[in-house]
A and B are shown apart, each in its own frame.
Chain A
Amino acid sequence: MVKLTINKIPVSVEPGTSILEAARKVGITVPSLCYHKDLCIAGNCRVCLVEVKGERTLTASCAVPVYEGMEVFTNTLKVRNARKNVIELLLSEHRCDCLKCEKNGKCELQDLAQEYRVEEKSFIDLSIGKRIDRSSPAIEKDDSKCIRCQRCVRTCAELQDVSALTVARKGEHMFISTFMHKPLADVVCTNCGQCVNRCPTGALVERNYMEEVWEAIDDPKKHVVVQTAPAVRIALGEDLGYDPGERVTGKMVTALKRMGFDKVFDTDFTADLTIMEEGTELLTRLKQALVDKEKVALPMFTSCSPGWIKYIEHEFSNNLDNLSTCKSPQQMFGPLAKTYYAEKAGIDPKDIVCVSVMPCTAKKYEARRPEMKASGFRDVDIVLTTRELAKMIKQGGNDFRHMEEGEFDSLLGKSTGAAVIFGATGGVMEAALRTAYEIVTGHEVPFPNLNIMPVRGMEGVREASIKIEGCVDAWKFLEGVELKVAVAHGLANARKVMKQVAEGTSPYHFVEVMACPGGCLGGGGQPIPTDMETRKKRAMAIYEEDEHMEFRKSHENPEVKLIYDDFLEKPLGHKSHELLHTHYTKRMTK
């Protein structure tokens, strides 16, 4: 352990700890902009300056490790003045229009300017004019708000291994660019929004569709239904004054009803449906491979994460057959709302506006894919992120904390624990195993309390194998088969698994991939900040929610049973194919 003092307070930390992290350990905050817990150190913003006794100049505390006997001062006049100058310099190149900015009130630069009482531009104004890229339906990039901290570049490279963003040119002309400065929509960006979640300013934000939703609600001719994804309920609270990991499911439902949605449904319902379809698809593929000896693409990959889908379409387009043909739960919900529900409720589907609340920016893109019109209409009309919903709840003027607990509406609102865990990495796998194992053997998965621990956790790639024993007659060919599965989250980890597949060495039958670190709970549309600590707390909340559910297996969802009896007939049936399954597109590789 290394011993040092910070503002005369003795501290002892592991060797290699930075001054900034050591200070945080004893409750001293040093301001930072380019630093992010998930990313490597860049040391380029200089706002974290501190004084180290014996050093001639001030030190960037995020980039310098502690040493024995170090004496650090984080709050001297010299330090404060220097930091203020740094902030002023950043602002001199910044198009300050806070009032119109998506990040107003949630901006790390603005917070610092306020803290250091930087009230106006004290240097010459070097800000560039508006330079906004709105080519993507999911993400908006505004270079005039960028402080060039490169969190986005590091995110896209380190966490996602996509590197759609780069640092282009140099010196005063340096800017964050795509390949040849092309619009985001024309490059390999997956719309995952991980960069958005880490951008300290308004330079990268989600496309905001709040007004469209208010307008639809206000239109008496429209019947506006909303679906909420599993990972929203365990994170929404963070933007409304709760601590990470607090579940606000019931209050969220009430808030949505008060906002004026005609029906509040649950994406969990279609998550369960996904399991029915995808589980059956997996078993069918296994039968084709093992019994019929057909050539069939294995491992099968999950397809609920639209960032992952766009990624594989770009980078591994020869392996599109390995993807399950199941749409994501969001896109299963849309057409069912405009067919099944419309029919039952006696509403003309053309009057239905289908809104979804997602932890994800890529879902905004997914909803606009041209093929997503299975109902004959745009299946999902408007997609909001968790952050946008929090803003709308505040706009609605309701006291969230004291709201009573509401219940989802029926027909498309019933959920199980299996659906809830879709929000965590490994959750789709666990849900699929709970159901598939039972279909095949007639009894529950052999894990205590249904908790399949080997697929849980935050390890980048996790594997598990389950020996299938005691098969019922229809599935006898699976008797004794060792089912090998893997789970990957974050596209950098997905690439590792995909490389094996491309090289023909993948040992797995079934692989779950989520584009975002931690799965949807760490999605690009989730409250900021998201880092390992928050991801772990959100995951705990998800598994807690699962344990509290009346039903914990997708095939036990009564509304799922009902929709198969009344409408879809059977998994992979004709209607399912029409409404719930999709196809994929090869895209440019670079």
Chain B
Amino acid sequence: MESSNIHEKTHPGPRQYITIAVILVIMTAVEVGVFFLTITPAAMTGIILFLAMGKFALVVGYYMQLRYDDRRFLYIFAAGFVVAIAIMIALMALFDNLTR
């Protein structure tokens, strides 16, 4: 019954937290670096979105411990997140933002 404490055994400690913080900062730096480079907007958008997703996943997975926690928390959060992203994409398509 008491599965809310199961993750205690495996969940990360301070060292890992700091490592992840360093990675997050680096990824942010790369994003900003990419912004200041002279590359095509499409390539830049791709790289920045990719890095942003990585940062998002790191924070959700490790800082919010979703990677170690009960799956049901993930499902309930992912439901909202996926619907939100789908509606964002659909709205952008409907307003011709993706093709403009």
Q: Do A and B bind each other?
A: no
Which A positions have Cβ atoms within 8 angstroms of B? none
